[in-house]
């Protein structure tokens, strides 16, 4: 049996800029606890380069995160005869949101490879509840976990007047914040259009992505003077800005989103699509305001959120604790050790 300090882990994760750092936080915790972890980001353009590079690497365990990382992780297990953890974060249909033309065909191939990887994996770590229930009926070594955040960072962040002044944000007006990737799935065009109904509010956009240019053009076309694009920022700075805001918003219909947990940990009122509140995989219905996906209803939801203070009760704190990266990372540690004991 290999000891922890002898284990080298290769982790294949999605490319999501500087915003989605959950897997990085888990790997940092594993490194502090004796593992040697190397992360490879898997994008559509770099996938083949990453695949052939890893084939030349020497390691003990490969972890593959949906979608591309999971797809090639199973192939690497077979070709390299290494231990493999399938890290199932998102349902298959999420893959197709931004895909068109030839990429959509490639997407179907990726789904087939993911299903293959789930069969050959030594262990599967799953986030969506219904997928967990489905997989554990079909195979052994299936573990339920959660997305994770640096909970302490957002819980104990301080309001920062200086940071707001640096970015020329008016501290006297209500502040709405969006943190994350700029892609179609987040319905950011509707969010921007809703600000037309909220001239006395400010919208702070942190992050970036392929729609950034289109969104900035939309702001100009709508003549919005209450929207600020701050780009990518360090996680600690994001926490301080978040703490200084009033409302956190996401208009993505997926119930599992790191930004929701961060907003709540930072004491923000949170606005989400109504469909998220109706999803059985969502635990924070009592602490969020649901809106229909049209600009007028979104603006009304934001107004309500400003007037509604989040109840920071023991139940909410217990729910958030499950999303602490320390708790989640301990799960991955146990799984790696378990498959290390298997012949």
* Residues 13-28: tens digit of each pLDDT: 987 655 556 788 899 9
Average pLDDT for residues 128-151, to the nearest whole number? Answer: 92
DSSP state of 302: H
In this prediction, residue 252 has a pLDDT band, given cuts at 50, 70 and 90, of very high
Strands 227-231, 269-273: pairing is unpaired
Q: Which helix (H) or strand (E) holds 192?
A: helix 188-194
**So what's the pLDDT on residue 99?**
64
Q: Is residue 40 a contact partner of residue 15, using CB atoms and an 8 Å limit?
A: no
**So what's the pLDDT on residue 228?**
96
**So what's the pLDDT on residue 19?**
52
**So what's the pLDDT on residue 234?**
86
Same fold across 4-148+324-341 and 151-321: yes
Encoded tokens for 336: 């790696």
Q: Is residue 122 a contact partner of residue 141, using CB atoms and an 8 Å limit?
A: yes
Determine the longest span between alpha carbons in the chain, in angstroms. 64
Q: What is the pTM of this model?
A: 0.85
Among positive and negative, which fits the CA dihedral 176, 182, 184, 186?
A: negative
List the CATH code of the domain at 151-321.
3.40.50.2000
Is the pLDDT at 1 greater than 60? The verdict is: no
Is the pLDDT at 51 greater than 60? The verdict is: yes
For the chain, the domains span: 4-148+324-341, 151-321
Q: Is residue 74 a contact partner of residue 48, using CB atoms and an 8 Å limit?
A: no
Q: Please state the φ and ψ torsions of residue 172, each to the nearest 5 degrees.
A: -90, -15
- What is 4-148+324-341's CATH number, 3.30.465.10, 3.40.50.300, 3.40.50.2000, 3.60.70.12? 3.40.50.2000
pLDDT tens digits, 73-85? 999 999 999 999 9
In this prediction, residue 43 has a pLDDT band, given cuts at 50, 70 and 90, of confident
In this prediction, residue 6 has a pLDDT band, given cuts at 50, 70 and 90, of low
Q: Which residue has the higher pLDDT, 282 or 104?
A: 282
Chain centre to alpha carbon of residue 277: 18
């Amino acid at each position: 049996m290999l000891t922890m300090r002898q284990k080298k882990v290769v982790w294949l994760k999605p490319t999501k800029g500087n915003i989605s750092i959950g897997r990085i936080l888990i790997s940092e915790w594993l490194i502090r606890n004796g593992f040697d972890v190397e992360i490879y980001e898997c994008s559509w353009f770099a996938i083949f380069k990453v695949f052939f590079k890893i084939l030349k690497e020497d390691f003990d365990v490969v972890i593959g995160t949906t979608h591309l990382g999971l797809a090639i992780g199973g192939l690497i297990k077979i070709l390299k005869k290494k231990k493999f953890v399938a890290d199932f974060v998102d349902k298959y249909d999420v893959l197709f949101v931004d895909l068109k033309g030839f990429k959509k065909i490639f997407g179907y191939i990726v789904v087939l490879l993911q299903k293959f990887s789930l069969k050959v994996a030594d262990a599967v770590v799953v986030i969506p509840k219904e997928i967990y229930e489905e997989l554990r009926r079909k195979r052994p070594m299936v573990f339920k976990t959660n997305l994770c955040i640096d909970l302490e960072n957002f819980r104990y962040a301080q309001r920062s007047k200086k940071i707001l002044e640096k970015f020329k944000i008016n501290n006297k007006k209500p502040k709405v914040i969006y943190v994350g990737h700029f892609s179609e799935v987040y319905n950011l065009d509707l969010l921007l259009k809703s600000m037309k109904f909220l001239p006395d509010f400010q919208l702070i956009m942190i992050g970036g992505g392929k729609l950034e240019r289109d969104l900035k053009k939309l702001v100009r076309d709508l003549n919005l003077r209450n929207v600020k694009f701050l780009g990518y920022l360090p996680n600690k700075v994001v926490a301080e800005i978040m703490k200084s805001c009033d409302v956190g918003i996401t208009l993505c219909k997926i119930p599992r989103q790191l930004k929701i947990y961060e907003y709540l940990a930072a004491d923000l009122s949170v606005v989400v699509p109504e469909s998220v509140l109706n999803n059985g995989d969502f635990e924070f219905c009592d602490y969020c305001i649901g809106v229909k996906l049209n600009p007028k209803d979104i603006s009304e939801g934001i107004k309500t959120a400003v007037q509604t203070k989040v109840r920071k009760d023991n139940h909410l704190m217990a729910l958030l604790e499950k999303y602490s990266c320390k708790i989640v990372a301990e799960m991955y540690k146990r799984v790696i050790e378990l498959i290390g004991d298997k012949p």
